[in-house]
Chains A and B, each alone.
Chain A
Amino acid sequence: MADATIAIRTRARWAARTPASRRGLVIAIILHVAIIGGALAMFFPFLWTLITSITPGANLTSTPALIPANPSFGAYAKLFSDLPFAQVILNSLLLASVTTAVQLFTSSTAAYAFSRLPFRGQNVVFAIYLATMMIPLQVLIVPLFVELKTFGLLDTYLGALLPTFASAFGIFLLRQAINQVPRELDEAATIDGAGHFRIFGQVILPNIRPALATLVVFSFMSSWNSFLWPLIVLRSPQLQTLPIALAGLQGQYISQWDVIMAGSVVSILPMLALYVFAQKYVIQGVASSGIK
């Protein structure tokens, strides 16, 4: 009875729609199906990681069951008992936070110079900045190692951090964002008597909040996941970072995939939280910015 009324009502509503709005509805449904289907495909490997991490004795010779027979969080307990895991996470957090804060500063100032302070040879200098991204890290490692050894910075956080202090990626990202900010805003501030430092702080930075939030995510992520350089610089166990500890696990628990996957879950979750938080900030940032 109730079903029949709903069906009648739905049909009536469908008939009441104009052809254009019918088409709109169909497009919206197709879009939703496509985007949710895609999301499932994106989510699948993570789900698989999650399931493997709670399947005791999981191995990769068989296809993992979608519902583990006797799920257990033993692998997570093992992470914390067999490794100085809390210490390792703290180390990674420290390095990633410092890198992110410093990169925000060095990237935004340089981006402002490239976007708003014309000087002779600016294009050449910018090309040199970009060029620093174009040589593989694998080749820079050896000279960098020799250099930090000369400075006496091996096995120190400073040694791990210094090469990450400026990022051409971040500078380029923010320069593009600043180029998008209408110059009328600068001019208005200039008439009000603002200098470059004030225009930078009070006009430009608030207007590129989406790009700044994006840079926070990527700076933090690149430090959080960086492997080769910390592995070579940081020798003492108490200085170790998360990816290195996880790589150690892979050697140690060669056949215990539940432990390895538990480690990956632990390494992914903080990044996901940061991303969700940054997304909120992006939306708020635009709502309160001065762009008209």
Chain B
Amino acid sequence: MTAQTALVDKAPQFKHSQPVRDTARTSRRAKYLLTVLAFLLPSAIPLAIFVLGPMIAAAWVSLNQWNLLAPMKFVGLGNYVGLLQDPQTGSVFLNTAYYVAGYLPLVYFGGLALALALNTALKGRSLLRGVYFLPVITSWIVVALVWRWLLSPSNGIVNTVLAWVGIQGPGWWTDPAWSMPSIILASAWKDLGFVMVILLAGLQAIPTDMYDAAKVDGAGPWRRLISVTLPLLSPSTFFVIIISLVNGFQVFDQIYAMTGGGPDGSSESVVEQIYDFTFRYGRAGDASALSWMLFIVILAVTLIQIRGQRRWVTYG
């Protein structure tokens, strides 16, 4: 049995026609399994040791009371029960959901429009791409400073411009009703370039003769966008949506830097709360329990997305 026939045999569409002995089949299967392992282990080993391991350890911590210094005290599901009874928990989850619901459509449609525009034969497009990518690589510390200043209620540029056209601007990050919109706006602005880059790579991978074929069939630009570009881009779109959801539910840096969760806890997110539990109040057990609650929410939302992808994601 040569290696070549063994490999040919793996692809279902090239199945051997003559009967093969059982031992040969078993050894082929073992060989295939070894190939799978060879491709998977380089990533599986570090993920298991450095992410899954600590995740399981965090699950154990969540069943204990622990201030990081004194020995742990086992409390069973006590931390979870306490968190579920605390109205603060509902409030941080609501704030986080508010953030995701505002951020996701803004960043996706904005990034898509940008990617489509910068994929045309626009003059100076590589320079423009670089400029739109600048906020992605700038640290939140700087971005938060600039946005707090832009959205300053008294002398910020945004309210100054609004005043010119006779609109009294809101208090932005100083107003409990406007703190979350301010953070959503700044976050979408910063992450547009990220979505643009992913979708541009997806657009670049669409074979040009697909467009030629559509043109021959008499499809106009709008038709080509709907029937060629968007379906062929759907794997990248799916990726962007999952990543934005996963990151959106873990929103922290911008809140920490822009409002610190205020005013009146109006922008306190789940991870902001987890951070406070761990590093301010020494409640590592509660922090771990809240993390696992967040994990379950994110996992559920992601699984729903993965289930739903069959309906709209097409692969080559």
A residues with a Cβ closer than 8 A to B are 31-32, 34-36, 38-39, 41-46, 48-49, 60, 63, 105-107, 109-110, 112-113, 117, 119, 125, 127-136, 138-140, 142-144, 146-147, 162-163, 165-166, 168-169, 171-173, 176-177, 179-183, 186-187, 190-191, 193-197, 200, 207-208, 210-211, 213-214, 217, 221, 225, 243, 250, 261, 264, 267-268, 271-272, 275-276, 279-280, 282-283, 285-286, 291-292
B contact residues, range: 35 or more
Known: A135-B55, A221-B137, A264-B142. A35 touches B117 (CB 8 A): yes
B135 touches A45 (CB 8 A): yes
A134 touches B246 (CB 8 A): yes
- Contact flags (1/0) for B62-85 with A, using CB distance below 8 Å? 000000100000000000000000
Q: In the complex, A130→B126 CA distance in Å?
A: 32
Query: From residue B135, how far is it (CB to closest CB) to chain A in Å?
Result: 6
Across the A-B interface, give the 4 residue pairs with the lowest CB-CB distance, nearest first.
Answer: A143-B57, A113-B39, A143-B54, A210-B201
9 A-B contacts, Cβ less than 8 Å apart?
A42-B192, A44-B146, A106-B46, A139-B287, A142-B68, A147-B49, A172-B242, A176-B202, A261-B142
- Across-interface contacts of B315 in A (CB, < 8 A): 179-180
B235 touches A179 (CB 8 A): yes
| B252 within 8 Å of A (CB atoms) | yes
Q: A179-B235, A271-B137 are in contact. List 6 more A-B contacts (CB 8 A).
A: A38-B132, A45-B138, A60-B145, A132-B55, A147-B57, A275-B133
For A180, give the chain B residue with the smallest CB separation.
B316
- Contact flags (1/0) for B94-127 with A, using CB distance below 8 Å? 0000000000000000000010011000100010
For A257, give the chain B residue with the smallest CB separation.
B145
- Across-interface contacts of B133 in A (CB, < 8 A): 272, 275
Pick the residue among B39, B238, B271 that contacts A138 (CB under 8 A): B271
Known: A143-B53, A181-B316, A272-B130. A136 touches B201 (CB 8 A): no
B residues with a Cβ closer than 8 A to A are 3-4, 7-8, 11, 13-14, 32-33, 35-36, 38-40, 42-47, 49-55, 57-58, 61, 68, 114, 117-118, 122, 126, 128-139, 141-143, 145-147, 149, 155, 189, 192-193, 197-198, 200-202, 204-205, 207, 209, 232, 235-236, 238-239, 242-243, 246, 249-250, 252, 271, 274-275, 278-279, 284, 287-288, 291-292, 294-295, 298-299, 302-303, 306, 315-316
